[in-house]
Chain A
Amino acid sequence: MDSAFIPNGVRRCAPGKFLVVLAVAGAVLLWGVYAMLLCWFKGLNQTNMNNNYGFALWIWADLAVIALGGGAFFTGFLRYIIGKDELKNIVNYAVLIGFICYSSALLILAIDIGQPLRGWFIFWHANVHSMLTEVAFCLSCYFGVLTIEYIPLILENRGIDRVPFLHHLGHNMHDIMAVFAATGAFLSFFHQGSLGGVAGVLFGRPFSYREGFFIWPWTFFLFTWSAAAYGPCFTLLITKITEAVTGKKLVKDNVVELLAKISGWMMVTYIIAKIVDTLYWANVTAPSKGLTLMDFYSHNAFYGVWILILEIVIGGIIPAAILITDKGRKSPAARTTAFVLAVIGVCVNRWVMVLQVMAAPVMTFDKWALYYPSWQEVATTILPVAYGVILIAISYRYLPIFPQEPELNPID
């Protein structure tokens, strides 16, 4: 039925099976859209946000998908700027995952601002002293970069490629992709950093407040660093899941191992910096505000020392140790475990930097303020997952995302 649009040299499932996948993901998507419309038409009273939680589940989801989508900018940087040629075999998928992550982040923000009709105010009447303005600028521009990086892939579809203008457009965009990739790396550095900077400059919140360099708190650099380190792990994890779902090998092991090795060493350097930062904060910064480390991890029903261990040891040191060793990297099971742990680690980091910051008491008369998201918040947070599944399914079916797929899965 749609065989004229399927890439040459690859086999795809029957259209019926494909439509069933789209229908299931579409049903979840519609549930999220319904919740989104409730938030837009009835207002933010549909959420469980309150005076303690101006930032809640959505901002965590935002920060998490942006960190996980960091695989796009870092893989693009390695491929086009550093010249790691092998990564051409996975950079398309990194771009697609980044596109999904960043469009999801923008969608969540459009719901979170409560009044999307005034969303353009942040550009038109920009507050040039706000890190969030910088985030909005860089996020929007970088989404533009990802769109530009994704378009040539769409133009390589067999049906579209027959049109001479579109064929040449895709070719020309490929030719100057290094310029776009460099712009993307520049933008990513600043918005990833500023997202961390927002938490780090909160001098009234000793849990997140950090000293820093010039106007940038240390969290600025840690967020950029962690996105570059952990983002590729998410790309590799989704690649692994796609291989499992399709039952095919899509990327050669040497490509996966190269990206995993770079990611592992980035994680090592990041986690050392993170440990030094945590020790300094626990022994110098927090005491200077009249608090001790255990004040942030006790006397409440949820936040214990376990979350610190989960973030730094289980989600940081262990996956880094696996990925920097030859043995760990070459074992598919160990490698996949490392990817899962790394994704958990960076998500927990973003969780504590958004939600634990809000939960921890500041004044002596304050109590821990715990928060439970409403179903509308949960549905709108799951919405991007369904959207991602749909976009990946369509892209995988009709676009040559994996250049090595025909070679790894020859058609008899």
Chain B
Amino acid sequence: MFPFNFEWIWDMPHMVFMGGLWYALGILGLGMTYCIIKAAVDAGKKDAGNHVGNHARNHD
């Protein structure tokens, strides 16, 4: 899973396979980090409370 695992080899199968895994995990991790930080910033704004409850139930 990591280059420091004893069985790791820098070959194409490892790079494609593990690259795919880390790519997917990276998108999910970065996406969630963005959402959490933005939510903290939004919630910290003075008027944030005014939006709560007025928000449409279905955001779509």
Complex: A244 Cα to B14 Cα, angstroms = 50
Shortest Cβ distance from A165 into B: residue:
B43
When C-beta atoms are compared, the residue in chain B nearest to A182 turns out to be B27
The residue among A8, A144, A171, A403 with the most chain B CB atoms within 10 A of its own CB is A171
Q: CB-CB contacts of A149-171 with B at 8 A, as 1s and 0s?
A: 00010001000011011111111
A7 contacts across to B, CB distance below 8 A: 57
Q: Mark B20-37, 1 if CB is under 8 A from A, else 0.
A: 110011011001101110
Q: Mark A183-197, 1 if CB is under 8 A from B, else 0.
A: 100110010000000
| Chain A interface mostly | helix
Interface status of A145 (Cβ within 8 A of chain B): yes
Question: Interface digits, A283-310 against B, CB 8 Å rule (1 contact, 0 not)?
Answer: 0000000000000000000000000000
Given A125-B5, A141-B28, A174–B59 Cβ distance below 8 Å?
yes
Given A128-B18, A129-B13, A176-B35; A168-B24 close (CB under 8 Å):
no
Given contacts A126-B18, A168-B38, contact A148 B28 (CB under 8 A): yes
For A141, the chain B residues whose CB sits under 8 A away are: 21, 24-25, 28
Give the shortest distance, in Å, between B51 (CB) and chain A (any CB). 8
Complex interface: chain A residues within 8 A of B48 (CB) = 164, 168
Question: Which listed residue, A8, A128, A162, A173, touches B14 by the CB 8 Å rule?
Answer: A128
Beyond known contacts A164-B42, A171-B39: 14 more, CB 8 A cutoff: A88-B60, A126-B17, A128-B16, A134-B17, A138-B24, A161-B55, A169-B35, A171-B55, A171-B59, A176-B35, A180-B28, A187-B24, A400-B57, A403-B57
